Structure 1
């Protein structure tokens, strides 16, 4: 007779995991990026995209995530489930008597530094792909100005301050449960750092 220990299932746990298994942060980020691509290609209307995005960030199982991507191109590709986060490299945006803009689809790194000196800058996160569940932005303006535009669903904490200048603290911090969190640090000197939640616009 075979012993109890010999009767144990020795298959790889990856093979026995079913669709009700708990999803990881990386899985939610991957689906959010797929939804953004579909919206960019016109396969999802803005309202549908934002609804699915909210549900993706709140999803706890693979089954919930798979339902959101089932009718989209790329759905037949096997996602890299439960993988380790792979955030984009840290980034520095400079405006020295000039300007910078980051708009549209771009990979948001885990750490982003923005600096304006006698210049202006815009960081628009509304259409961007988050590569980490938490983002640190260090925003510095000296005799310059910059604006950080946030999508409605992200969570935010603001720690910056102004010295003879302004550093916006008027944005409410709470967004959608499970959505990425943006921490904003820094200061302004004779300048300004504006922070706003701004609705996405339907693509023409």
Structure 2
């Protein structure tokens, strides 16, 4: 049977748990994660997660509720979203004379398509994405910069992050960055 996006997301979360608990190494995690996002059938997903705790409880075609939409503000200050967190399907950020960092490398995607809207006025924002995630950039800048391309390609079937917005005398930088080895 064909697997759905929700099944791939559940296996990705199971793999993230295993990597966080030291059950699998970083290289193995990244390899399995890329194959999980490319998997077309339940059998392919089962082979990737059969040796992990919690694999038996994974449902078939179950609903995966996206985390609620949220907003991050930095007004004369900063924000930071790093480590393990649930990525909502819609995230809005605003920096006025401030800055922020959104690190998606260790985050759990709760939706296949994620929309991030970034607005910067005289500040800066940085978004870090892992190698397998697909990115679509569509921002504009006036007397500042809004990245219009990102090095590397994501993996087929991996989540897609659509980044849009506006920068006035500020910047929005998007970087593809590998996860750090914990060993």
Give the TM-score taking structure 1 as reference length: 0.87
Q: Which of 151, 161, 164 is residue 185 of structure 1 equivalent to?
A: 164
Q: CA deviation at 1:73?
A: 1.2
Q: Is the 8 A contact 1:156 1:173 kept in 2?
A: no
Task: Give the equivalent residue in structure 2 for 1:74.
Answer: 54
Contiguous gaps of at least 5 residues in structure 1: 1-20
Alignment map for 1:96-107 (pairs within 5 Å) = 96-107=75-86
Q: CA deviation at 1:120?
A: 1.0
Identify if the C-alpha distance between structure 1 residues 89 and 173 changes in structure 2 by more than 3 Å, giving closer, same or farther.
Answer: farther
Q: Is the 8 A contact 1:113 1:139 kept in 2?
A: yes
Alignment map for 1:43-192 (pairs within 5 Å) = 43-77=23-57, 79-172=58-151, 174-192=153-171
Q: CA deviation at 1:172?
A: 3.9
Q: CA deviation at 1:76?
A: 2.8
Q: CA deviation at 1:75?
A: 2.0
Aligned counterparts of 1:51 and 1:191: Cα–Cα separation in 2: 36
Which is richer in strand? 2
Whichever of the two has the greater Rg, that structure is: 1
Task: Give the equivalent residue in structure 1 for 2:8.
Answer: 28
Question: What's the CA shift string for 1:11-54, capped at 9, x where partnerless?
Answer: xxxxxxxxxx1111100000000100111111111100000000
Q: CA deviation at 1:173?
A: 6.7
C-alpha RMSD over aligned residues: 1.1
Question: What's the CA shift string for 1:80-120, capped at 9, x where partnerless?
Answer: 21123411100100001111000011000000001111111
1:169 match: secondary structure: coil
